[in-house]
Structure formats: structure tokens, C-alpha cells
């Protein structure tokens, strides 16, 4: 009986260890250059790979010294000797807000309760800053600089905000570019605070980097900052773009007359941080045109842009039952994330499996593009000279206003029969299957061969059978091990569910760390990361690149009982307040009571969100 119990325990533990060993995982982070000049950008690439069915999303460190732009991700799947291994690369563009040397902290993932971290990365911004003035960033301008000889036209505004789109009447799913420009002709105190416009009826993508320049308008020289966003209309209708907003502090330009009755008002206004001003652009309306009904191919699935199509097999020859991968690649300009996998032609001589897709997004010249790769596993059922017929892909070209259909060449595959004495790996072949040069190599019935039981095995089985109720112990241990494996597999396949479940616990730990912080200047940034990471975990989104507007849009869609305007406004107000404290702290330090109130307000807000069901 003891031998049977030990044998069952060893088997159960061995199965659990083997299952855990199979799900190996790794994370790596790198930058394209560790030394750049001011005004340039780093590309941060995070690679997560492993044999797990669902890879966890990485957690970025605090990046308050950078402007972070999400440049998309790519996914690939490889199968070697029957073992599948996935790899996902997350790409971010980082615009430094500093000169000198800084450290990008470790990037981490959590898998099966264990944390994996990358080494920190040292980056340096060297050299002299760009000579082009950047008044919109708070830089003072040299009176003897460019345009100093021009006579300023004081009738024009000192600062203003403008927003335009390059195509007011695009087709559905065609890219348009929204440009928001902040113009200033005077010195500013501190960094302007930008709030993106409300978008209704669009999919949006950031177009980094932020641009800067100068322009003479009505005889007055302005310096401007420009932020561009790619928009894709979702439906044929009028779509609205709300006003963008910029808050800034302006110097008091009035002459100081010590005998003026309002001299002290002007003096204390200037000493107290200047004159606050909030600007907003005019709202815009875009008329999205429907795609023409005439000439629409039957296989058209909504792709709009200009694309190329290729297809290939991972091998030119195989045996019956071997796995062969068809790779179909669509690349070009357009919203590739909306592209569906091209339909494969009928393959009666193969058994096909689910298609795995991966996307690589590029943003060259303010045009969204890249590639979409679709991999399908097929298994030949018969031998002979087979082929995969041409694959079709149709899209709409907005430049020519017409539909285009791409066609690949046929893909030949030479399939050899299974050697005699070896069981075919593939599924059974129906007797009615017939094709030129094809030969059935196996049937769906196999003879069972029995082997005599060894005496020692018979003794163990007999001891277990005579054990009475005690023999239930191995069964109980096996059931416990099986339940734990199922639970671990569920967490691995549903990392977003685990993130949402642990979001409040993680936020509480971060709030406690922030309250114990000895340097008050670091508290706002810690609170900002706590709020953003909590919302990212609840909404199943990556924390980096999660903007306030996208957070509000996702919450309005996912509240179980409908939109919660009061709660959304509370999130918006606290987000903006903490963000302001993080990236534009006051020079006079921060009162401990104010810090305590902010921490308590954030704790109450997160508790309210936790009590409100989210899909």
C-alpha cells in the first residue's frame, strides 16, 4: 500500500513539474541607441517569449522623464518538433525631457506568481540643444534672434490654438491626419498642459514625435508645437472631433508704472506665477463616405489602403501526417489591425487548423502601415504532388476610388507516403477520396495488441485493490493536482482576468509605498503611476500609452450598469491634478497635508471604481 501511495505522489508531482517546465518564459528590453542628441528619440523594444498559451503583458517602469508613444507590437509563432513557442514585441518611442544621463528602470512581467525583470538601461542625451527656439515649451527667446528685426503686430493674439484635418471627406476606414498646433509669440512660464480632443466615431493612433517650428502670421512671428494623430472613421456618417485644450501661464506684458494704481496687482500677479490662460481649438466635423457598392468583390472584408500580398509554405516536401505551415503576409499602408485573415481556398487533401495572426505597425511619414501575417497549420491526408491553390485578398484603394484584388501563385507540396510499419500521424482518409496521383496510406481502424503484465506490476495493483478506503488517497492527490493544473492553466490563458482581480491589492501596496515616501517631490509621480496602472489592469490595457481620453472612452463602454458621469468626472479631475503635480511641480515644495489629502482622495476613488462592476 505504501509503495502504491508513493508511486501516485511521485507521478502527480512529476506531471506538475513537467507541465510547469514546459511553460518556460523570458523577457528582454533594449533600445536602438543609448546615446542621442536633443530633439531625437529612443526606440524601446520589449520582447516577451515563451511556450505558454497566453503570454503576460509587460509592466513598464515610471517614465516621467520621457514622452511615451505606443508604436504597436508584433507577434510571431514558431513550432519546432511539435513544441509551439510565441514571441511578442512591444515597441515604444521615447522623447526625452532632459539632457544628461538617466536610467530606464526594469521592465517586469508576472507569470505563475513569479516576477521576471529586465536589467535597467542607461541612456544619455548629449550635445547642445537645438538652436530653433521653442517658446511653447517655456524657453525664453533671444531678442536678437530670428525675426528680431520684424515689427510685431500687437493686434494679433499672443497665443492661440488651431486644429485641422487633411481630409474632411474621407472614405470609411481611410486614414486622415489631425494636426493640433499651439502658437505663441510671447514667453511662457513652465510647460503648457495639453488635453487631447474628444473623438467620436474614430479609431486613433498617435503620430510621434511632437513637432516644433516658427511661422510669421500677419507680420508677427510665432513659435509653435504640433501634435498629429491618425484617425480612421468607423462608419459612413458625420463624425465629430471635439476641441483640444491647452493650459499655460503667460508673463504679464503690461508696463510696470510704480505710480499706477494697479502696480501692486501686476507685481504680485507676476511674482505669483504669471497670468493663467486656457485655450481651446474649434470643434471639427468629418463626413465619412461609404465605400461604393458597385464592383465590390465577394471576398472583400473592409480593408482600405494600398497593400501587397505574398504566401509561402515553410517546406516544399513532407510526409502524410506532417505539419505544414501556410504563411500569408499582407503589407502596405492602411489600418492593418482591421484586416481579417484572407480566406483559404478549399483544401480537400488537407486538414487545416485555426489561423494565428500577428501585426507589425509602422508610422513612416505620418502614414500608418506595416504588415499583417497569418499562419495556418495544415496536415496532408494523402500522398502525391499536391498544391495549395492561389489565395485572394481584396481591398479598396481610396486614391483610385476602386477595389483591387490580389492573387498569390499556387504553392506546390510534394507529399510522400508514411513508411510501412509506421502509423500515419494525420486523420483517416475516407474511402471515397480520389484524386490524380494520390494514394491512401492508412485506414481508421487499428488492431489492439496486448502484452502480458509483469509480476511486480501485478503485485502493486493487487496491493492497491486490497487497500480498502485508503486507496482513495492517491485518487484525492491526483484530483488535487489536476485541479491545481487547471487553475494554473486558466490563469495563464486569461492573464487579463488575473490582472483585474489583483488590481486593487496592487494599488493598495503602491499607495502605502507612496505614503511612506520621504521625498515629497516623488509622491505625485508615484500616485500617477498607481492610478494609471490600476485603470490599465481593470481595463485589460497596457499601462504605457494609456491616455486619459482612451480611459474615459473604455470606461463608458464597459460599465456594466451604463455610463457613470460622476465617477468619470472624478477620474478626469484627479488624473489631471496628479499629472499636473507630477510633470509641473511647484518650486516651493509640497505641503504634507496636501500630499495626504491627495493620497486619500485617490484611495477613495479607487474604492468607488472597485465597487462598480466593469466588463
Sheet holding 238-241, edge to edge: 199-200, 238-241, 284-287
| pLDDT tens profile 104-127 | 999 999 888 888 999 999 998 886
Confidence grade of residue 85 (pLDDT, cut at 50, 70, 90): confident
Residue 489 has pLDDT above 80, yes or no: no
pLDDT at 3 over 60: no
Domain that holds residue 200: 135-253+268-287
- Whether pLDDT at 353 is above 70: yes
Give the pLDDT confidence score for residue 468 in this predicted structure. 62
Looking at the structure, tell me whether residues 503 and 576 fall in a common domain: yes
Q: Give tens-digit pLDDT for 551-573.
A: 887 888 777 777 777 788 888 88
Say if residue 457's pLDDT is above 70: no
Tell me if 445 is assigned to some domain.
no
Please give the backbone phi and psi of residue 44, each rounded to the nearest 5 degrees, phi first: -100, 120
Q: Which grid coordinates belong to 60?
A: 513598464
Nearest 5°: CA angle at 419, between 415 and 420?
140
In a domain, 17, yes or no: no
**Interval 393-413 mean pLDDT:** 95
Same domain, 235 and 213: yes
Q: How confident is the model at residue 89 (pLDDT cuts 50, 70, 90)?
A: confident
Out of 381, 397, 416, pick the residue that ends a domain.
Answer: 416
Answer yes or no: do 158 and 246 share one domain.
yes
Q: What is the pLDDT of residues 313-349, one digit of tens each?
A: 999 999 998 999 999 999 999 998 888 899 999 999 9
Backbone φ and ψ of 538, nearest 5°: -70, -30
pLDDT tens-digit readout, 58-82: 888 888 778 776 666 676 666 655 5
Contact by Cβ (8 Å): 334, 312: no
Residue where a domain stops, chosen among 367, 388, 416: 416
Strand partners, 204: 231
Output phi, psi for 252, to 5 deg: -80, 110
Q: Is 9 helix (H, G, I), strand (E, B) or coil?
A: helix
Domain boundary among 95, 125, 155: 125
How high is the pLDDT of residue 191?
A: 78
How many Å is the Cα radius of gyration of the chain?
31
Query: Quick one: 121 and 139 in the same domain?
Result: no
Does residue 8 lie within any of the structural domains?
Answer: no
Higher-scoring residue by pLDDT: 543, 524: 524
| Shared domain check, 521 and 587 | yes
Distance from C-alpha of 61 to C-alpha of 459, rounded to nearest angstrom: 59
Same domain, 509 and 543: yes
Number of structural domains the chain divides into: 4
Q: Are residues 34 and 113 in the same domain?
A: yes
158/258 Cα distance (integer angstroms): 25
CATH number at residue 80: 2.60.40.10
Q: If you average pLDDT over every residue of the chain, what do you get?
A: 77
Q: How far is CA 88 from CA 113, 372, 505, 512, 588, in A?
A: 20, 14, 27, 33, 45
pLDDT tens digits, 214-235: 888 888 889 999 999 999 998 9
Q: What's the rounded mean pLDDT across residues 449-456?
A: 59
Tell me the pLDDT band of 458, cut-offs 50, 70 and 90. low
**Does the pLDDT value for residue 487 go beyond 90?**
no
Q: If we measure between CA atoms, which residue out of 544, 573, 538, 574 comes closest to residue 557?
A: 538
- Inside any domain, residue 437: no
Amino acid at each position: 500500500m505504501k509503495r502504491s501511495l508513493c508511486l501516485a505522489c511521485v507521478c502527480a508531482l512529476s506531471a506538475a513539474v513537467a507541465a510547469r517546465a514546459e511553460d518556460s518564459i523570458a523577457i528582454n528590453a533594449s533600445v536602438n541607441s543609448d546615446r542621442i542628441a536633443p530633439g531625437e528619440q529612443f526606440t524601446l523594444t520589449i520582447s516577451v517569449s515563451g511556450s505558454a498559451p497566453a503570454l503576460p503583458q509587460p509592466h513598464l517602469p515610471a517614465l516621467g522623464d520621457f514622452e511615451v508613444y505606443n508604436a504597436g507590437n508584433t507577434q510571431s509563432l514558431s513550432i519546432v518538433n511539435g513544441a509551439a513557442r510565441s514571441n511578442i514585441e512591444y515597441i515604444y518611442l521615447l522623447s526625452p525631457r532632459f539632457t544628461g544621463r538617466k536610467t530606464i528602470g526594469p521592465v517586469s512581467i508576472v507569470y505563475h506568481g513569479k516576477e521576471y525583470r529586465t536589467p535597467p538601461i542607461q541612456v544619455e542625451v548629449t550635445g547642445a540643444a537645438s538652436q530653433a527656439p521653442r517658446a511653447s515649451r517655456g524657453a525664453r527667446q533671444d531678442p536678437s534672434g530670428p525675426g528680431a528685426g520684424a515689427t510685431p503686430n500687437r493686434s494679433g493674439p499672443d497665443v492661440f490654438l488651431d486644429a485641422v484635418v487633411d481630409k474632411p471627406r474621407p472614405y470609411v476606414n481611410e486614414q486622415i491626419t489631425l494636426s493640433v498646433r499651439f502658437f505663441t509669440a510671447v514667453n511662457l512660464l513652465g510647460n503648457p498642459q495639453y488635453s487631447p480632443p474628444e473623438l467620436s466615431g474614430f479609431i486613433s493612433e498617435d503620430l510621434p514625435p511632437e513637432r516644433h517650428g516658427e511661422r510669421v502670421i500677419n507680420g508677427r512671428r510665432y513659435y509653435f508645437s504640433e501634435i498629429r494623430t491618425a484617425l480612421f472613421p468607423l462608419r459612413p456618417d458625420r463624425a465629430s472631433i471635439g476641441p483640444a485644450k491647452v493650459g499655460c501661464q503667460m508673463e504679464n506684458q503690461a508696463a510696470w508704472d510704480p505710480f499706477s494704481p494697479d502696480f501692486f496687482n501686476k507685481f504680485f500677479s507676476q511674482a505669483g506665477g504669471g497670468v493663467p490662460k486656457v485655450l481651446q481649438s474649434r470643434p471639427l466635423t468629418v463626413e465619412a463616405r461609404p465605400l461604393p457598392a458597385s464592383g465590390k468583390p465577394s471576398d472583400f472584408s473592409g480593408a482600405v489602403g494600398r497593400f501587397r500580398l505574398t504566401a509561402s509554405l515553410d517546406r516544399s516536401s513532407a510526409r502524410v501526417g506532417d505539419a505544414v505551415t501556410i504563411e500569408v503576409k499582407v503589407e502596405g499602408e492602411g489600418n492593418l489591425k482591421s484586416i481579417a485573415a484572407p480566406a483559404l481556398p478549399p483544401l480537400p487533401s488537407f486538414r487545416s487548423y485555426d489561423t494565428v495572426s500577428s501585426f507589425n505597425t509602422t508610422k513612416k511619414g505620418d502614414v500608418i502601415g506595416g504588415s499583417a501575417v497569418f499562419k495556418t497549420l495544415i496536415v496532408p491526408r494523402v500522398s502525391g504532388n499536391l498544391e495549395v491553390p492561389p489565395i485572394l485578398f481584396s481591398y479598396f484603394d481610396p486614391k483610385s476610388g476602386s477595389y483591387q484584388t490580389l492573387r498569390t501563385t499556387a504553392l506546390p507540396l510534394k507529399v510522400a507516403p508514411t513508411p510501412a510499419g509506421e502509423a500515419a500521424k494525420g486523420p483517416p482518409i475516407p474511402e471515397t477520396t480520389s484524386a490524380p496521383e494520390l494514394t491512401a496510406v492508412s485506414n481508421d481502424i487499428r488492431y489492439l495488441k496486448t502484452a502480458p503484465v509483469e509480476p511486480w506490476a501485478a503485485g502493486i495493483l493487487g496491493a492497491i485493490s486490497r487497500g480498502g478506503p485508503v486507496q482513495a488517497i492517491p485518487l484525492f492527490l491526483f484530483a488535487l493536482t489536476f485541479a491545481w493544473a487547471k487553475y494554473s492553466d486558466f490563469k495563464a490563458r486569461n492573464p487579463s482576468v488575473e490582472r483585474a482581480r489583483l488590481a486593487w491589492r496592487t494599488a493598495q501596496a503602491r499607495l502605502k509605498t507612496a505614503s511612506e515616501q520621504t521625498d515629497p517631490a516623488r509622491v505625485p509621480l508615484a500616485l500617477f503611476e498607481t492610478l494609471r496602472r490600476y485603470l490599465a489592469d481593470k481595463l485589460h490595457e497596457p499601462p504605457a500609452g494609456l491616455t486619459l481620453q482612451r480611459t474615459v472612452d473604455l470606461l463608458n463602454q464597459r460599465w456594466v450598469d451604463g455610463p457613470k458621469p460622476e465617477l468619470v468626472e472624478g477620474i478626469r479631475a484627479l488624473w489631471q491634478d496628479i499629472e499636473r503635480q507630477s510633470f509641473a511641480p511647484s518650486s516651493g515644495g509640497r505641503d504634507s497635508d496636501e500630499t495626504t489629502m491627495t493620497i486619500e482622495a485617490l484611495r477613495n476613488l479607487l474604492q468607488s471604481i472597485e465597487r462598480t462592476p466593469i466588463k
